[in-house]
Structures are given as C-alpha cells and as structure tokens.
Amino acid sequence: MAIKITAGQPSPILSLRWKTLITLSLILAVVNGSLAYYAYQQLFRQFDVQQAQVRERQEIQFNALFADRFRQMSRIGNLVPLLAPLEPHDDLRVHLTRALQAHGITLDLEWDIRSVHWLNPEGSDLLLWPEGEAALPAQFIQMIGEQPEQTHQGLACGDDCRQYLSVPLLWDGEYSGALILGRTVADALLAFHALTGAEAAVVACEQAPCSLTGMRAVTHPQISRSLFERAWTTEPLDSVSGSQVDRTARVRSFQVDDAWYESFRIDLGPGLEGLVLNNISSQRRAITIAARQSVAIGLLGLVLTEILMLVILHGPLARLRRLATRLPLLAEQSFDKLRESISSLLRDFDFRDEIDLVVETVATVADQMEGLERDRQKAQDDLVWLADHDSLTNLLNRRGFNRESSRLINDARLKGEPGALFFIDLDRFKDVNELSGHQLGDSLLEGVAGQLEDVVGNRGIIGRLGGDEFAVVLNSADRYEAEKVAGELTHRIQEVVVVSNKWRHQVTASIGIVLFPEHGLGLQQLMADADLAMSQAKEKGRGRWHIFSPDDKGRERANARLVWSQKISAALSDGLFELHLQPIMEVATGKVWRAEGLLRMRDPACGFISPGNFIPVAEETGQIQEIDQWVLNRAFGLLATRDDFSLSVNLSASAMQDNSLLPTLETLSAKHRVRPEHLTLEITESVAVNSLRNTARLMDNIQRLGCRFALDDFGSGFASYSYLKQLPVNDIKIDGAFIRDILDNREDRIFVGAITDMAHGMDKRVIAEFVENERVLDTLRTIKVDFAQGYHIGRAAAPIAA
C-alpha cells in the first residue's frame, strides 16, 4: 500500500532528539514522582510506627506515675497513726485527729495529700481532715465494705480528680476500720508532662468515649484545654491524607495553623479516661523537608539526564540528518553520487553502532537497486520483445503478426501491389507430443520455424499464431509466386525430422492461401479465409495446400456448424432438450422394465431433431460435455420418479476421457436419491478401443459405484473377442444391421447366435436392436437373446409424468 504524502506546505518536524528527550523526561518524571511519593509514604509509615511506640511508652509512663503515687500513699497511710504520740485513754478517732491537726499541712505540702477519711468498722465515713471536704465516693466505700481488711486504691472525680487509697487500721490488736487518703492527680499529670513533654488530662464520664465536659484535670489548661477540645470535639483528620476519620478513634491528629498535634486516650478505669497531647510539628516538618529534598534531587537528576542525553544524541542524529538528505539520490538513480556522498558518514571504528549499519545498508541497497534497475531495463526490453514475439521460435506471435501484417497489407494497398497470406497447420503434431513428449514437440516447432525463415527470407513476415499454427505474409507475390512458395514450404517442412528413443517423427503441413487484394484487404477476413482454405487442404489429404476460392463450400459448412452450435447453446439454456424413452422388453417373459433414453432437440419450426444432426457439431465445438451432463442429470431425475424400471443412456467419447465422470455420478446419485444400479451407461466399440486400458479402469470404478455398462452397436466396428473380454460390460447391444435381415440372411442368424452364446458364456446379457415385427422377435427368442428393442416393442416417446 502506497503512503500518501500531502503536497504543499510541509508539516513541521519534531526531531528524534526531542522525541527521545520528551519521552525520557516523562518516564523519569513518572519514576521520580513515584519514588518521591513512595518515600513520602514510607516516611509517614515510619512516623506512624514511631508514634505508636511513643504512645505505648507514654501510656506505660502515665500508668506508672499513677501507680508510683499509689505506692507513696500506701507508705504515708501507714505513717499517719504514728504522727502523734499515743496518750493514755485515747481512742482511735481522737488519736488520728490530733495527728492530722499537727501534721496535715505537711502532708498537703510534701505529698499533695488533700483529704484523710476514717471509715469505721460499721462503714460510716468519718472525715478527719480537713474540715468541709467532700465525702468519699460511694463506690469506693462499697468496695471497702466488701473487702474491709484489704488495701484498696482508685480514681474518682468530682469537682476535681483524686487518687484514693485505703489502708486497714488495727487498734488494740483489732480491726478498727480503714484510713483513706485522697490525693489530687495534678501532681501526676505535671510529672508526666515533665517526663514526656506531652500535655495530659483526666476526663470523667458515664460512658465511653468521654465528653470533654467531664475534664477535671489538665496540664497548662490555658493552652492545652483548647487543643484537647479541637482534637476531640471536631471532626478529626488523618495525619497523612488529611481526610476525616472515625470520631470514636483512639488516636487523632489535627492541625492548628502551622502546627500538628496528636492526641490519644488512655483507659483509667470505669468512667475515667486519660488524654495525652503530643506536638508532632517537628516530625511533620522533617517529613516534608525530606520529601521536598527527594523531589529536588529527582528534578536535578532529570535535568542532568536530559542534558547528557542531548549531548549523546547530537552526533548520531546529525549523521542521520545528513544521511536523510542524501536518500533522495536513490529515487533519482544517482547511485555513484550517493555512494560518494555517504562515504564520509562511515567511521573507521572497531565498534559500529546502528547508524553505521544503516549507512552500510543504504550503500548495499544502492548497489542492489542499481543491479535491479539494470535487470528491470533488460526485463522491460525483453517484455517489449516478448509482447510481439514467440519465445520458443523467436517468430512474431499473433499480436505482433497481426500488427505487422496489417502494416504490410496497407502498404501493398497504397502501392497497388499484390501479396499472399499463408495459414499453415502441422498435420498430426499432437501425436508427437503424446508419444515423445512436449520437449521433442518444441524441437520440431523450432525446426519448422527455421525452415520457414529460410524459405521466406526478407520477402515477408512469419508468425507463430499458437500451438502448431503458423502464418506467412509475402510482399509482391501473385498467384504463381504464392503457389511456388507453397510448394517449397510443403517440401521444406517435410524435411524436418525429430527422433526420440522409440520414435522418428516427420510431419507434414496443410497450407491455406489467400491473395490480396484479390480476396480482400481486411486482415481478419483474410485470416478467416486462409483458415478455411487450410481446412479444405486437410480434407484433400495431409501435406497439401489450397488457394481460397469464394465458390468453395467450406464456408457454408462453417456457417452451418456455427448455426448448429448456436442452436445447441440455446437448447441448453432454454431447456429445449428432451430425453425420450424407448422400451426394452425382456424376451423370455415379455415384460418391459427397462428403457433407453434417446436425446431429442425440440425445434419450434420443425419439431424434434435427432442427435445425429447436432452431436457431431457438439463434439467439434466441445459442447458435448454440457450435453452429457444434461443427459445424466435428466436420467437421474427420471429414475427418482420411479423405482420399478432401469434406464440406459448413451455417453460420448469425451465423457469416457473425463476424470470428473465418476464424481458426477456420485453427486447426482446422492442428489436424486437414486440407486446407481438402475442406470446403464452405453458406450460404442470405437470409444472403448481408442483408450482401452483407461476406459476399462474407469468402467471398473463406475461399476463399483453400482452403475452398469452396455457395449452399443456391437459388431459394427472394431469388436473382437479380446476387446469384449477386457471391457467390464454387463450387456451387449447387437448392431441393428444384423437384426434387420435376420429372417432372410442365414449369416446374420449365425452371427447373432454366436454372439449370444459367447455373451452368455461370459455372463453378459444380449440386447437386439431394430426389432420390427413378431417374426423377428420369435427368431430372437429361439436364439435366446435376452432383450429386444425396436418399433415392434415400442417407439421412443416423451416420458409420462408419474
């Protein structure tokens, strides 16, 4: 397929350098961007892992600080009864009150003890210090009541949040209730902030997650309270993507101006939660800086790569451009100039690259194209010569002969000179090809052409019209000269002899001659008349010549042949052929269960025409094959309508030489659903004898299909016992010439009887034709002929529709 290039203003060129640069830049940009994004994600994943570790550590520290303060409170609780000297007759309450009044302030200042309660064994909460302090939480009192002699600890929030620790008291060796210390959580939260740098808060609530309205303790409330509220009262954002997350999440990240924070919850027991707030701005900034550095390094690498690529591509692409500007020299066929111009593009290096290969390929292509151009020019010259000449004999072919002969005839007309046209056909040339092969036949044609050239010389032109046909046009040749040349041609052609291993071939030629302007000046008419004269020469005998005469009957015969050919074509196309059936009677029983199909042509003017009028023409024109096909198709069609009779039809000589006969019978049998054994194919002796071996082989194959064979007109031609033995026929039809006079001719009766006995001995049946009366039928019955056919049995007629 040709490539269409639009004429006019050329399209802008995008250099391969820039295509490569753009493509590489896009690839590197995607790769660098992907790597930067991956690194960014990896940093955040590492950050999340680190933060998870920080949260875990801070939670441990948070709980550890509270646990440490519980241990301190446990030690202080055991020391409180020892803070005042024991007085005689003191009870436990008086003793504890005196100790707390003396040292309560110290407990508050040193250990942040804000309240001391005594829970007597009856479960009554008796506040010892300070006055006005709120009562103990009910759940704590209940817990002590359930296990009074054990130490208990817990967190509880009212107006503030406190740690409570109960220590069982023994007085005079008996359990005397529990001493409960209350301590604010502020000290623990501040210690946590000092330890971790994180803000902390304690929130009281009835159900999780706790609301910030229950926040009772918080470090640096002026700053951290609002941040806690921002973290836990607004829709939180994911720390990486910035998208919203579940409000019930344990950890939340959020941004305030340029600062990032992370807050998480710590479970402190029923109804209590600890909140921790970390400032993660420095980590976030470090991640952002690392990501920007990664992108910057990628961009720098991209720019450096592009510069390096431009430098690398500059030289090769410059060579390609120079090569491209020289390629049009190929189209101009300036091969020497092209080779000279691209020699500078070749480099004398040990290592070559693809451009070197391209340059070398262009040089090779130039050499090949130069050779092809020479070959093309030579082939073109040869084609010009072959267009007008025959490659075997080097004579003019039909095209060249027609052109040159028209020119010569026209020149003769202008000059008023006579001339002659010879149409030459070799006799029995087909035998040479069939017996010795086409190669020897070609040698004979070359010899004939040489003889023609010797005879004609420069007096005219010679042409080979095809096959074994030649033609000659002579200038300035009258009838006498034409007859002289014809005799010389006939003699010289007979001198051509070719010899094969088995045969020596010597051919003759039949020559038809027309004279111009005596017989006309039109080339086509002259050729037709010369062909007709050649046919008349063949009718006289081989190796003769004949000068055309308008009074010859040959043209009438040719016209008649054309008329019959047209009638045959019309009959085939318009359905004017019919197959009439003539009954065949079984002599022994008198039954008729078979018939012979006889072809008829229906003519609107003269009725039915018998095949003897048109079959010879059909055999000459090749239309016999179509007729055979029609007969077989019609026969199977008739058999398909009835299954109680058999039908015989005649086959032409060409049908028995046609390789498609067997497939045709198979196809028609399947198409019409007819058993092939109901069809008998009749052939003549002459058809079989022409090619006995091939005919016998074909008959065997057709008999295996199921069809039967009958040898028609037996006794009229070349029949012999040997032929009858070799041909696999089922029936023998004795020629009517032996039946017509059988009553009066003793020799005919003896011949028919002998044929019948011989046929029966070979397991074949005999059919007698031309049975005209009952006496003939009785004679045949006596001779034991199997079947009879003739006017006495029934005339041929069109089949009656079933």
Residue 404 lies in a domain: yes
What pLDDT shows up at residue 772? 92
pLDDT digits (tens, 9 = 90+) for 373-382: 888 888 887 7
**Residue 244: pLDDT over 50:** no
Choice between 429 and 646, residue whose per-residue pLDDT is larger: 646
The domain that contains 214 carries what CATH number?
Answer: 3.30.450.20
Residues near 96 by beta carbon (within 8 Å), at least 6 away in sequence: 80, 81, 116, 118, 128, 179
Choice between 455 and 126, residue whose per-residue pLDDT is larger: 455
Residue 40 lies in a domain: no
**Residue 620: pLDDT over 70:** yes
Cα separation, 302 vs 306, in Å, equals: 6
Confidence of residue 21 (pLDDT cuts 50, 70, 90): confident
Confidence of residue 349 (pLDDT cuts 50, 70, 90): low
As a whole number, mean pLDDT of residues 553-558 equals: 64
As a whole number, mean pLDDT of residues 500-511 equals: 85
What pLDDT shows up at residue 245? 45
Element at 760 (helix H, strand E): helix 746-761
The domain that contains 432 carries what CATH number?
Answer: 3.30.70.270
The answer to whether 137 and 164 are in contact (CB under 8 A) is yes
Residue 204 lies in a domain: yes
Q: What is the CA radius of gyration of the chain?
A: 64
Token pair listed for 433: 């090809």
Task: For the chain, count helices (H), then strands (E).
Answer: 24, 26
Say whether both 274 and 153 belong to one domain: yes
Of the given ranges (90-99, 456-465, 515-524, 547-556), which has the lowest mean pLDDT? 547-556
Residue 78 lies in a domain: yes
Say whether both 240 and 123 belong to one domain: yes
Residue 317 lies in a domain: no
Confidence of residue 420 (pLDDT cuts 50, 70, 90): very high
pLDDT digits (tens, 9 = 90+) for 383-405: 888 888 888 899 999 999 999 99
Strand-pairing partners, residue 202, are: 217, 274
| Tally of residues, the chain | 802
What pLDDT shows up at residue 307? 87
The answer to whether 688 and 651 are in contact (CB under 8 A) is no
Say whether both 768 and 739 belong to one domain: yes
Q: Within 234-280, where are the H helices?
A: none
What pLDDT shows up at residue 428? 84
Domain boundary pick from 503, 529, 552: 552
Residue 765 lies in a domain: yes
Say whether both 619 and 509 belong to one domain: no
Mean pLDDT value across the chain:
85
pLDDT digits (tens, 9 = 90+) for 719-750: 556 667 778 899 999 988 899 999 989 998 99
**Residue 709: pLDDT over 90:** yes
Token pair listed for 776: 């003939």
The domain that contains 642 carries what CATH number?
Answer: 3.20.20.450
Say whether both 536 and 632 belong to one domain: no
**Residue 562: pLDDT over 70:** yes
As a whole number, mean pLDDT of residues 346-365 equals: 72
pLDDT digits (tens, 9 = 90+) for 155-175: 988 888 899 999 998 887 788
723: region left, alpha or beta (phi > 0 left; psi from -120 to 50 alpha): alpha
Say whether both 152 and 225 belong to one domain: yes
What's the 3-state SS for 546-608?
A: EECCCCCCHHHHHHHHHHHHHHHHHHHHHCCEEEEEEEEEECCCCCEEEEEEEEEEEECCCEE
Choice between 668 and 322, residue whose per-residue pLDDT is larger: 668
pLDDT digits (tens, 9 = 90+) for 249-261: 789 998 888 899 9
Say whether both 257 and 363 belong to one domain: no
pLDDT digits (tens, 9 = 90+) for 749-763: 999 999 999 999 999
Element at 59 (helix H, strand E): helix 16-79
pLDDT digits (tens, 9 = 90+) for 69-91: 999 998 988 888 888 787 777 77
Confidence of residue 1 (pLDDT cuts 50, 70, 90): very low
Residue 202 lies in a domain: yes
The structure tokens 């269409």 sit at 4
Domain boundary pick from 552, 587, 620: 552
pLDDT digits (tens, 9 = 90+) for 214-232: 788 899 989 898 888 888 8
What pLDDT shows up at residue 778? 93
Choice between 708 and 660, residue whose per-residue pLDDT is larger: 708
Say whether both 773 and 628 belong to one domain: yes
Say whether both 625 and 579 belong to one domain: yes
**Residue 5: pLDDT over 60:** no
**Residue 512: pLDDT over 90:** yes
Angle at 304 between CA 299 and CA 308, to 5 degrees: 145
Other CB atoms within 10 Å distance of the CB of residue 51: 19
**Residue 292: pLDDT over 80:** yes
Q: Provide the domain count of the chain.
A: 4
The pTM of this model reads 0.43
What pLDDT shows up at residue 168? 92
Say whether both 348 and 473 belong to one domain: no
The two beta strands, 419-426 and 469-475, are antiparallel
Token pair listed for 414: 């202008």
The answer to whether 549 and 584 are in contact (CB under 8 A) is no
Say whether both 188 and 157 belong to one domain: yes
**Residue 795: pLDDT over 50:** yes
Residues near 145 by beta carbon (within 8 Å), at least 6 away in sequence: 123
What pLDDT shows up at residue 260? 92
Confidence of residue 243 (pLDDT cuts 50, 70, 90): very low
Say whether both 430 and 486 belong to one domain: yes
Other CB atoms within 10 Å distance of the CB of residue 627: 23
As a whole number, mean pLDDT of residues 268-294 equals: 90
Other CB atoms within 10 Å distance of the CB of residue 452: 24
As a whole number, mean pLDDT of residues 783-796 equals: 94
Range of the domain at 377: 328-384
As a whole number, mean pLDDT of residues 557-574 equals: 82
Residue 17 lies in a domain: no
Confidence of residue 50 (pLDDT cuts 50, 70, 90): very high
